[in-house]
Amino acid sequence: AALRCVRVLHERPVAGRALVARTDGKVQALVDAYKNEQRSRLSLEERAPGTEGEGYLDARQRALDEAAERRLAAIMADYQHEINNYEELQKEEAISKTAKVLEEADISEEKRDVIHREIGKFRESMKEEADVVVRRKRDKDDKDAPRDKDVIRDKDARDKDVRDKERERDRERDKDRERDRDKERRRRSVSRSRERRDEREQREREREREREERERDREREREKERERER
């Protein structure tokens, strides 16, 4: 399994860069011993066709490699949007963390709303910038390698669908965040009301204790007066 990871992943291009998957010095000795053992075990007929450079592979191992390649290609296709837009997603995550910290900060609602509006403007600006980068890259690709107009239209339509879906998800996230902020404001309002009520009750209890204490003092004074009169 470890060797399969090296065979499948090493130098695989991802987001314009080649992955590096290698064994370290300590493991390499075990790897070489395993390969030699496999080569001696397999006859030339048993080796999978096209594996002369990897003579320790049999047909079963080659089939497993191909299955891993297909599965990896499917995973890459599923996450292609995230891979291509990694930097934008990182910025979005940073903005979300900032918004969370802002929600927990002890500042006025007015200031919090102003900051949220500025964050929203920055998010929209970031999306527009990403769209510009996508359009420029598409224009460059069109100049470097002219393609069939129908293919271009289909790709443009798919890109537009992706952008529309992304904007819709962003709008839904904004709505969710706004609902969360409303809930937080209501919670804080209820909490402040409860605190004010508790403070009033505390003051009432303090005043009641003070009245009782004064009444006891007066009663003691009256008792002393009666004692003196006797």
User: Which of 6-20, 43-57, 66-80, 215-229 shows the lowest per-residue confidence on average (mean pLDDT)?
Assistant: 43-57
In tens, the pLDDT along 167-216 reads: 788 888 888 888 888 888 788 778 788 888 888 888 888 989 898 888 88
Number of domain units in the chain: 2
Task: Provide mean pLDDT across the span 101-110.
Answer: 61
Cα 59 from chain centre: 41
Question: The tokens of 145 are what?
Answer: 């390698």
DSSP state of 113: H
Whether 175 is in a domain gets the answer: yes
In tens, the pLDDT along 57-75 reads: 777 888 888 888 888 888 8
Same domain membership, residue 12 and residue 73: yes
Interacting residues of 65 by C-beta distance below 8 A, sequence separation 6+: 4, 7, 8, 57
DSSP-based three-state secondary structure for 64: helix
Whether 210 is in a domain gets the answer: yes
Interacting residues of 230 by C-beta distance below 8 A, sequence separation 6+: none
The residue among 189 and 142 whose pLDDT is bigger is 189
How far is 6 from 20, CA to CA, in rounded Å?
A: 8
Same domain membership, residue 143 and residue 66: no
Same domain membership, residue 212 and residue 125: yes
Q: Strands, DSSP E only, in 15-134?
A: 17-18
Q: What pTM did the predictor assign?
A: 0.34
How far is 122 from 99, CA to CA, in rounded Å?
A: 12
Same domain membership, residue 14 and residue 91: no
Same domain membership, residue 133 and residue 108: yes
Termini Cα distance of the chain: 107
How far is 56 from 46, CA to CA, in rounded Å?
A: 10
Mean pLDDT for the chain overall: 74
With a cut of 80, say whether residue 98 has pLDDT above it. no
How far is 230 from 224, CA to CA, in rounded Å?
A: 10
Question: The tokens of 136 are what?
Answer: 């420029």
Residue 154 CB neighbours (<10 A): 11
Identify the band that residue 149 occupies on the pLDDT scale cut at 50, 70 and 90.
low
Q: What is the pLDDT of residue 54?
A: 59
Task: Provide mean pLDDT across the span 76-96.
Answer: 67
With a cut of 70, say whether residue 109 has pLDDT above it. no
Identify the band that residue 221 occupies on the pLDDT scale cut at 50, 70 and 90.
confident
Question: The tokens of 69 are what?
Answer: 């390649």
DSSP-based three-state secondary structure for 220: helix
Same domain membership, residue 99 and residue 212: yes
Whether 228 is in a domain gets the answer: no
DSSP state of 52: G
Whether 150 is in a domain gets the answer: yes
Domain span at residue 100?
80-217
Q: What is the pLDDT of residue 51?
A: 46
- Of 33, 57, 78, the residue at which a domain comes to its end is 78
